[in-house]
Amino acid sequence: MRRPMVAGNWKMHGTRASVAELIEGLANLALPGGVVDVAVFPPSLHVSLVVDCLEGQSISVGAQNCAHQAGQGALTGEVSSTQLADAGCKFVLVGHSERRQIMGESNEVLNRKFEAVQAAGLTPILCIGETLEERKAGKTLEVVGQQLDSIIEELGIGAFVNAVVAYEPVWAIGTGLTASPEQAQEVHAAIRAQLMKENSEVAQGVRLLYGGSVKAANAVELFGMPDIDGGLIGGASLNADEFGAIIRAAGN
């Protein structure tokens, strides 16, 4: 039985003041006890603040990105997974589409980041998904399959024992368009089947999150699908009440 997870990606949003306000809102939420794992992903700058403010709450903190190597070193401007672990992070997003597309991160770089996250004892959340053009061309499963295969080939199926996968169609991120529950389930089932070919036990245990304009209004239907184990939430995670309603949907 996979425990659902709801993760809130704050992207490049927030000031110290607005982050404190959001955390206060999260701390006041009536969340389903012990049935959903909840994590928030502030900008790296605010990680320590959020870790401190959430002390004693059942909400984990993750980072949106990390350097392609663990430890410390001469990498100006980067933050390593080891430093994020030291700051209290539990998860790191790897391969969010904004990093693949805007920052030009390749599968090769992401393989190294995924490895660096695990080397620091953290859990990577691997984000994969197709663009609208790729979907229209009927290439969704091929594209998602290649993104997943890159990690399997490089690091082996064992790497998924401590990992989460987020299917995020690029056309649904921040656009207000959401994949229908059936569209999302089709891709999630294909992802699990691909992992299953390597190792069924690992495949059955991996949590597959859906991301792309999830709101309280569509969460129940999406999370009701058999291979959708929760969500990676962008915009709606900046509103504590809306995020709380999404978490409750995952707990039902």
Q: Catalytic amino acids?
A: 96, 168
Number of residues lying near ligand PEP (CB under 6 A) = 15
User: Is 213 labelled a binding residue?
Assistant: yes
By the 10 Å C-beta count (0-12 exposed, 13-18 middle, 19+ buried), 179 is classed as: buried
Q: How far is the CB of 241 from ligand PEP (least distance, A)?
A: 16
Alpha-carbon Rg for the chain in angstroms: 17
Distance between CA atoms of residues 68 and 66, nearest Å: 7
The smaller minimum CB distance to ligand PEP, of residues 145 and 211, is found at 211
The reply on whether position 246 binds ligand PEP by CB under 6 A is: no
The reply on whether position 213 binds ligand PEP by CB under 6 A is: yes
Question: Contacts with ligand PEP in 192-211 (CB under 6 A)?
Answer: 211
User: Is 11 labelled a binding residue?
Assistant: yes
Tokens of 129: 């998904």
Question: Contacts with ligand PEP in 64-123 (CB under 6 A)?
Answer: 96
Contacts of 217 (CB under 8 A, 6+ apart): none
Tokens of 36: 């959903």
The reply on whether position 233 binds ligand PEP by CB under 6 A is: yes
Distance between CA atoms of residues 39 and 59, nearest Å: 5
User: What is the rounded (10 degree) CA torsion for 116, 174, 231, 51?
Assistant: 60
The reply on whether position 9 binds ligand PEP by CB under 6 A is: yes
Instruction: Please report, in range form, the residues annotated as the binding site for substrate.
Output: 9-11, 174, 213, 234-235
The residues of the shown chain that bind ligand PEP, judged by CB under 6 A, are 9, 11, 96, 168, 173-174, 211-214, 232-236
